[in-house]
Amino acid sequence: MPRYKLTLEYDGGPYAGWQRQENDPSVQEALEKAATKLDGAPVIVQGAGRTDSGVHALGQVAHLDLVKDLAEDKVRDALNFHLKPNPIAVLQAERVDEDFHARFSAHQRHYLYRIIDRRQPLTLDRGQVWRVPRKLDAEAMHTAAQFLLGTHDFTTFRDAQCQADSPVKSIDAVSVARYGEEVQLTISAISFLHRQVRSITGSLVEVGVGKWTPADFKAALDAADRKRCGPVAPPDGLYLTGVDYPA
């Protein structure tokens, strides 16, 4: 059975997350229904990251095995046809070896969190960013974020429902920068804890509005205590932007 690697873009707003749910719509379920229509047999789709309810993707990666041996562009276009009217797009379909696994072969995941700091309500970007009605100090947020680099016990930024075996993770790159009225957090690691990025973002915003100093942020991280986490940022502004694999 030929295996295909899919690069996906989606609006997570209508879904209860990536993973198949018993009673709620999911991105995985929509893709599997589309792939089953294409292949004429049940298809299971495996994703690189289990994005939460409401979280978006610009570069999610998944793989599937088909009975039919089809050209890559045919797989892409047929899946997009059967996905209508879901806000999900297959950007690319690539034939890969059978030992490729979207989740277990990945060695880097990249996320973006978008914040707009203005008092006025959002219109065009509603549901796509987090609106914070106070001006943020992006430089202070960036300074605080650098304490995340390296390997740490991230219990402070770990959701109570997280099922990971250990709270220890390694952050390889992190940055906060302003682009006009938008503040963007970018962060990269091999893997993340449940709601880790949203927990980090909410605490960095505490720095941005002046409630915390960068030293306070570091103290919260070092405490390894979930009670020290700031408010968890909403899913609206979070995007899985890319997943890296060995050449």
The catalytic site residues sit at: 52
Tokens of 165: 């075996």
Residues 107 and 239: their CA atoms lie apart, in Å, by 18
CA angle 42-46-51, nearest 5°? Answer: 125
The shares of helix, strand and coil residues in the chain, as percent rounded to the nearest 5, are 30, 30, 45
Residue in the block written with tokens 């030929």: 2
List b or e across 198-224, with b for residues whose CB sees 16 or more CB atoms inside 10 angstroms.
bbbbbbbbbbbbeebebebbbebbeeb
Q: Which amino acid is at 105?
A: S
Residues 233 and 5: their CA atoms lie apart, in Å, by 31
